Amino acid sequence: MKKLSLVLMLVLFGVGSMLAQRTVQGTVTDTEGDPLIGANVLVKGTTVGTITDYDGKYSLTVPEGSNTLVFSYTGYTTQEVELGASNVVDVVMEEGITLETAVVTALGVEKEEKAVGYAVQEVNSDAITRSGASKTLDALQGKAAGVQLTRASGAAGGGTRIVIRGQTSLTGDNQALIVIDGVRVNNSTFQSEGNHAGVANTNRLADLNPNDIESISILKGAAATALYGVDGARGVVVITTKRGKGTDGKKFKVDIGSSVAFSEVTQITPTQTTYAQGWAGVYYPPETGVSTSWGPPVSELAWDGATDYAFDPNGHIVSKDDPSAVKPVTPYDNIGTFFQTGVAFNNNVAVSGGSDVANFRFSYGNYSEEGVIPKNTFERNTFKLASDLKLTDRLSMSASANFSKANGRRIQQGSNTSGLMLGMLRTPITFDNSGGFDDPANTEAAYRFPDGSQRNYRGGGGYDNPYWIINLAPRFDEVNRLFGNVNVEYKLHPWATLSATLGTDWFSDRREQQFEINSRTAPSGRVFEDNFFFRNTDIYLNARGSGNLTDDISLGYLLGTNLYDSHLENLYTEGNGLSFPNFVHISNASDVQSSRYINNKRTVGFYGSLDFGWRSMLYLTVTGRQDYVSTLIVPDEPFSLSDIGFFYPSASLSFVFSELLPNDDILSFGKLRLSYAAVGGGPPSAYSTTTPFVSASAGDGWADPVSFPFNGVTGFTQSDNLGNPNLEPELTVNKEVGVDLRFFKGRLGLDFSYYTMLSDNQILPVDLAGSTGYTSAVLNAGSLSSKGIELVLTATPIRKRDFGWDLQVNYTRNRTIVEKLAEGLEALQIGGFTGTGMFHITGQPFGVLYGGAYLRDNAGTDADDGLTIPDGNILINDDPTSGEYGFQQPDPTLRVIGDPNPDFIVGITNTFTYKRLALSFLIDWKQGGDMWNGTMWALTFFGRAQITAEDRDKIVVFDGVLSDGSPNNIPVRVGQNYWTSSVGGFGSVDEGFVQSTTWVRLREVTLSWDFNPKWFSGTFVEGGSLVLNGRNLYFWTPYLGVDPETSLWGTGNAQGFEYFNMPSTRSVSVGLNLNF
Amino acid sequence: MMKHKITALFLGLALLLGFNSCEDYFGDINVNPNVPTDVPPSVLLPSIEVGVADLTGGDMSRFTAVLVSHVRGVARQWSSIDNYSFIVPSNFDNAWRYNIYAGILQDARILKQKASEEGAAYYVGIADVLMAYTWMMATDVWDDMPFTEAFQGTDNLQPAFDSQEFIYGKIDDMLAEAISSLSGDGGDLLPGSDDIIYGGDAASWLKAAHAVAARAALHRALMDPNKYYGDVLTHVADGFTSGADDMRLQYTSGPTSAAPWYRFNRDRTGDIQMFTDDKPSKLGEIMMALNDPRLPAYSYDFEDFDNHPYFRADRAYPLITYYEQKFMEAEALMMTGGDAAAIHDAFVAGIQASFDAMGMDATDYITAVDPGEGNVTMDDIMTQKYIAMYAEPEVYNDWRRTNIPQLTPNSGSTIPYRFPYPSSELTLNLNTPPVDGLSAITDPANKVWWDIN
């Protein structure tokens, strides 16, 4: 760290020293004489620049020794103007395509767009900051083809998953690699509990303030990412952060921004408001502990007005005809009254300045959110300092440091007796979770009796009262993080620029979970402290050069080495059995156990790339990388580098065929892309090559296990997972073809990509029969294939002085198929509950839903493949002695019952500008993708789902046939007997609860207004803007539950499973930005 | 100059980081720092012992207790287990896969091997007793199991199944070896407080080895009564001499070291009861008829798990006991035409030992149920054994051997004769016999080898 601060000092001192200079001004117009607003004016070869104002005017201080200005504007041809004697330079720009536009490719190398033989898509800073999203990944929603983002929940601080071009690994990480300013940063979402319970954890890219982002480049295919090595196979998000720029004669430039957002919950699983707590039509009060709402209609019930009844201030519930009845029962709304309006404040300030010799940018951001769930908070403070220093003409340095501190107070969720929605939705309408208090979230008597026992609808058993959860089962966390990099670059020769980059990322994530005595998850009380510490080092040494060999042939090369080292440490301490209440602390626990886990990995890579260009028409890039990975090492055995190393190549071709065509006004540009790339990979986890001993535990699935130390005695057992010293590297092969067409001088653009991917020899844990002495082994087994289409359509239907309309459509279609699992292994569960969940099944899409189906009349016949649901008629139970007479029946064979992967995703952004106003809206359409509605499944059993009220007295004849093949003619009542049967809630048929998550949503609406700078003349303010923003304002979906964008498995591989998920939110915000 | 220095620096860095002794650079980085690659016998033994007690008192106890109508499943999954419909393969993965093969037996094999290498005879003997005990408990409910081809990891993903007769032969070998190991000198490496069951006392283990051997002989009694009942009597003579010798594992009241039934009642509150109005258990009916003073302790509300007098958190879980041995002795004497006084003594001593274990006075009860010397019947012995061994898995073996007491199925016409194979073995090991559901486990053809009743 000493080094870093030294660099920063240098930079700061350098800022003051300005050289001799002149001021140039002028106007930029289009061919019709209309001024161009916001055109970019840059002093060539420097970072000094400005943009034109509303009248197309600019004024720029040009440093001594510089004599060329570069004018650029989206949709217009870039111009370079040599400065003469005059200090006035007016420019007329022509519509056209800027073929020299640079895109950021692997390792931060900027390449001309036309020379790139694979798909790259860029998202700029405006699109991110104006999205109104507080976290970077959320801001990317709908803005790039091939990218699928899933927000785990609307809880404050919840994580978001990013997958580019489908999955490449059966069981490993499938999320894109995140690279900030050339070095990789951690975007993990650490879990403290099982994935299906616990709290919504944050993915760590959230530690980056979106306001610090200059641009994001999305590298999709392996040809684009091959130089990043193993982790690049999943796609790479290359983030470039903002830096200081020449500030036009002023010493400093200040930007401040402030916004406030209000949010509310979106839809929640529909529940009935007709029937009371009870069973078989009889009311059972809370103290009986009865879990269900199969009681009588509330219209038949009354309160007796007793004032001494602890469970209800309105008294006991009696029949309305009972003599003690005083007032008819009205249903309580335990759901609508629980949530609040979430409020989030976002404040940012950035100071930047400098000259062409040195510059800096410092920013501070504070984001503070109180969620829609009371007492659910998330706060983030970020500090970022970036600077560049040109020591000599040849030697330059740059550095950036980002410090962040994030704090959360989170709420238990999911499949968990302390899960918020679980207790809330199961609560009968005859029980008031709030206890009649106006502010139950802050009134202990609402959820806790004076003796410390819990006030809930099951007399203290069952599930936690939501108000108990938010007060007495909180999770606190704090992340302190520093990431940044130092880069030194030396121009040795026109053909040799040497650079060294050192990046590092350090953070600690400290968590404490409390469960007060009488919490249902831990009736005797529990507290755990879960501490993560992460550190990585990412070093690159590169030599590169480029130039023209002849007028027709250009050549470029890159040679380098990369060293990546990561260290993750986890220290978990759990205390159980609190001695006394109101002090949930490890020192109050009667039984304390601790565990520590360290994961070290190291990779060394050598890589090279060669670029050939011919006549601005043909570009060929070939790359190769040799990696050595620590995870292939077998400890205690001598090894040579060749045992842990592997090589993989890539080649990509760009053919600008429009160069061959006569110039016309229709097709302005056309490019064909072809690429092939292979990427190798080692075992995704460290220590897979050995079978160690582990601290023992004993038990079965029914109850919490016994663990060691047992009564002070230590116990170890050989690991059930057999290590494998003979692992070989994985290999992913990617082929891509694409075409980039621009029409009408770029007013219309179409970019199409088709790709295939085959990932073979995957290293994964494979289940073994117990009789082998192990339960799983790490094997080279399994392969995955993907193919997909991406389409990006851009259009500027209208471009007038005062009015413009831009349109961008991103279309994504991906199919990933599990080609092979291990020998003899047909299915591999990756998430869900025992028997129902997400499985990899040979020949099926990635992670399909697998579970119980209705029995069909042709099950087990030749028409039945034993895997998918056969297309026969549903067989109705026609055994009159059965309690399920007239119902469907469960098929004893589990089946593929759904595919959580979407058919396609479309993002449509329309932007309208009128004078200084801009209105843009993003429509996000996801077609297909199934989800198991476990919430509804469970709530039907409890008689709480809306459907159980609609059908409670209805007599129906289910579709199906009887055992003799004749159509079903048995009338049955769809009431308690049905929904608590083996085909109802908690039954073994899941098929009926699989629903489509297709949605169309208004993801983003932004109205921004740039202030007229004339207002501020004479003040120190230069300009500003007002931004109104709405996120997720409306969506339409057939899914009968919470917003299906939520995911119980958070950012993990298993998607399509909903079980008392936290709902999503919609929000509106207003923000003011000013710059000085 | 500057230029050259910088060039040299880059080259130097490149050499340092890249090309020079890369192997050294990787060093120990893939050595797992979190877990040991080798451990001493003293930390393997506790995990095996707790594993055996948790298996016996967990799945084995609960499923068999429902089958012999000691208890009734009354809620959630257990109401379907109660009517046998949910006695399905997926319920046995835990026991078979994690607890038995990859757990107890794998670790006991390793323990035995390490102990043999170090000449630690008592560890070897204890490992043999625990392996024999576990194999027997497993084969008694699963019949044929992989034995000779088991424990080979990825070298044999589909081990063949060996017959129960073969496995019993191996159990005899293990117990004979255990008796020999425990009878001699223990060597330098001796078990101590790591032996949670007997605190390292080889003499107690020797008695336990004989008790287990008696049980192994008793199970096969139907095959050759004279031989096996004779073996029972031989072994009980060297077995336990009082309840103080019982093979028990002491649990404690800590949340993660509490006894299995307590943990079940705590975490699955209300799933099982001994007796309800809707679902009376045979054990409850018999005890009520006998006015058995142990009944209140047995049938105490399982939902009030913290106060349950029998299924306590800090229970000393019985693996094999003096009272069981006395009932074995009584049965063996009876079936081999033994002395009436000896039969009566063993019968009464069994009841007495059961009461002693609960700290209760047996005098009045014995007076009430004792038919007197010469009048003790198999029915008396097996009924009192059925009562004494509350929720112990051995009861299911006794009932299958003797049909005492007469049980009425909770549902259908047949009480399952055995457990189905676990779903993991059925799907991953294609040698697994297709005993996979209710119809298979109620098919007499699938009875275990010794069950020729």
CA distance A864 to chain B (A): 19
- Name A594's bridge partners: A573
Assess if residue B360 is contained within a domain: no
Distances (CA, A) of A634 to A83, A726, B26, B353, B423: 65, 9, 11, 56, 33
CA distance A506 to A492: 33
Q: What is the mean pLDDT of residues B434-452?
A: 93
Q: Does A642 lie at the interface with B, CB-CB under 8 angstroms?
A: no
Per-residue pLDDT tens over the stretch A993-1018: 999 999 999 999 999 999 988 888 88
SS3 state of residue B370 = coil
pLDDT band at A356 (very low <50, low <70, confident <90, very high): confident
Residues of B in contact with A542 (CB under 8 A): none
Q: What pLDDT, on a 0 to 100 scale, did the predictor assign at position A150?
A: 84
CA distance A747 to A915: 20
Q: Does A559 lie at the interface with B, CB-CB under 8 angstroms?
A: no
CA distance A979 to chain B (A): 14
Choose between B217 and A127: higher pLDDT. Answer: B217
In chain A, helix, strand, coil percent, each to 5? 10, 50, 40
In this structure, is the dihedral angle defined by the CA atoms of residues B426, B430, B434 and B435, taken in order, positive or negative? Answer: negative
Nearest to A770 among B102, B194, B196 (CB): B102
Flag if A634 and B30 touch (Cβ within 8 Å): yes
Task: Looking at B27-163, list the stretches that DSSP marks H as alpha helix, in order from N- to C-terminal side.
Answer: 41-55, 61-67, 76-82, 93, 106-117, 121-142
Q: What pLDDT, on a 0 to 100 scale, did the predictor assign at position B22?
A: 63
Instruction: Find the angle CA(A934)-CA(A940)-CA(A945) to the nearest 5 degrees.
Output: 95
User: Residue A971 pLDDT more than 90?
Assistant: yes
Assess if residue B255 is contained within a domain: no
Assess if residue B365 is contained within a domain: no
Assess if residue B392 is contained within a domain: no
Assess if residue B399 is contained within a domain: no
Flag if A700 and B99 touch (Cβ within 8 Å): yes
Other CB atoms closer than 10 Å to residue A755's CB: what's the count?
Answer: 25
**Helix and strand numbers, DSSP H then E, in chain B:** 21, 4
Q: What pLDDT, on a 0 to 100 scale, did the predictor assign at position B340?
A: 96
- Name A531's bridge partners: A510, A571
Q: What is the mean pLDDT of residues A877-894?
A: 89
Assess if residue B361 is contained within a domain: no
Flag if A715 and B47 touch (Cβ within 8 Å): yes
Residues of B in contact with A701 (CB under 8 A): 94
**How big is the A-B interface in CB pairs under 8 Å?**
273
Show the beta-strand stretches assigned E in B198-346: 247-250, 272-273, 316-320
Contact at 8 Å (CB) between A210 and A129? yes
Q: What is the mean pLDDT of residues B322-348?
A: 97
Contact at 8 Å (CB) between A49 and A245? yes
Number of folded domains that form chain B: 1
Q: Which residues contact A757 (CB under 8 A, 6 or more apart)?
A: A165, A166, A168, A222, A732, A733, A734, A735, A784, A785, A786, A787
Flag if A719 and B250 touch (Cβ within 8 Å): no
Q: Tell me the two tokens of residue A187.
A: 């975007």
Distances (CA, A) of A31 to A47, A57, A172, A193, A663: 28, 16, 55, 63, 19
Per-residue pLDDT tens over the stretch A646-681: 999 999 999 999 989 887 778 989 999 999 999 988
Assess if residue B168 is contained within a domain: yes
Residues of A in contact with B55 (CB under 8 A): 698
Flag if A767 and B428 touch (Cβ within 8 Å): yes
Q: What is the mean pLDDT of residues A399-425?
A: 95
Flag if B154 and A639 touch (Cβ within 8 Å): no
Q: What pLDDT, on a 0 to 100 scale, did the predictor assign at position B14?
A: 52
Q: Does A626 lie at the interface with B, CB-CB under 8 angstroms?
A: no
User: Residue A13 pLDDT more than 50?
Assistant: no
Tell me which amino acid residue B220 is.
Answer: R
What mean pLDDT value characterizes chain B?
Answer: 93
pLDDT band at B200 (very low <50, low <70, confident <90, very high): very high
- Name A366's bridge partners: A347, A381
In 3D, which of B3, B20, B4 has the Cα closest to residue A561? B20
Q: What is the mean pLDDT of residues A179-186?
A: 93
pLDDT band at A847 (very low <50, low <70, confident <90, very high): very high
Q: What pLDDT, on a 0 to 100 scale, did the predictor assign at position A3?
A: 44
Backbone angles phi, psi at A182, to 5 degrees: 95, -10
Per-residue pLDDT tens over the stretch A486-519: 999 999 998 999 999 999 999 999 999 999 999 9
Contact at 8 Å (CB) between A716 and B39? yes
Task: Looking at A411-545, list the stretches that DSSP marks H as alpha helix, in order from N- to C-terminal side.
Answer: 420-426, 466-472
Per-residue pLDDT tens over the stretch B90-114: 899 999 999 999 999 999 999 999 9
Q: What is the mean pLDDT of residues A759-767?
A: 88
Interface test with A, best of B47, B109, B257 (most A CBs within 10 A): B47
For residue B142, the enclosing domain spans: 40-239+425-448
Residues of A in contact with B152 (CB under 8 A): 772-773
User: Residue A6 pLDDT more than 50?
Assistant: no
Q: What is the mean pLDDT of residues B63-74?
A: 97
Nearest to A771 among B38, B159, B437 (CB): B159
**Matching residue, tokens 């080092």:** A537
Assess if residue B128 is contained within a domain: yes
Contact at 8 Å (CB) between B254 and B364? no
**Helix and strand numbers, DSSP H then E, in chain A:** 9, 59
Q: What pLDDT, on a 0 to 100 scale, did the predictor assign at position A963?
A: 92
Contact at 8 Å (CB) between A814 and A146? yes
Start-to-end CA distance of chain B, whole Å, equals 99
- B305 CB-contact burial (10 Å; exposed 0-12 / middle 13-18 / buried 19+): buried
Domain of B191: which CATH number? 1.25.40.390
Flag if A628 and B22 touch (Cβ within 8 Å): yes
Contact at 8 Å (CB) between A653 and A637? no
What mean pLDDT value characterizes chain A?
Answer: 90
Contact at 8 Å (CB) between A146 and A162? no
- Chain A residue closest to B429 (CA)? A769
Pick from A464-468, A722-726, A893-897, A1019-1023: least confident = A1019-1023
**Helix or strand (DSSP H, E) at B211:** helix B202-219
- Name A554's bridge partners: A548, A613
Task: Decide the pairing of beta strands A1023-1036 and A917-927.
Answer: unpaired
ipTM of this model?
0.93
Q: Report which listed range, A81-85, A165-169, B308-312, is most confident.
A: B308-312
Task: Decide the pairing of beta strands A177-180 and A236-241.
Answer: parallel
CA distance B359 to chain A (A): 24
Instruction: Find the angle CA(A254)-CA(A258)-CA(A263) to the nearest 5 degrees.
Output: 160
Q: What pLDDT, on a 0 to 100 scale, did the predictor assign at position A16?
A: 38
Interface test with A, best of B50, B110, B194, B196 (most A CBs within 10 A): B50
Q: What pLDDT, on a 0 to 100 scale, did the predictor assign at position A266?
A: 95
In this structure, is the dihedral angle defined by the CA atoms of residues A1033, A1037, A1041 and A1046, taken in order, positive or negative? Answer: negative
Please name each of the domains of chain A with its CATH number. 2-95 (2.60.40.1120), 690-723 (no CATH), 848-1061 (no CATH)
Other CB atoms closer than 10 Å to residue B361's CB: what's the count?
Answer: 12
User: Residue A18 pLDDT more than 70?
Assistant: no
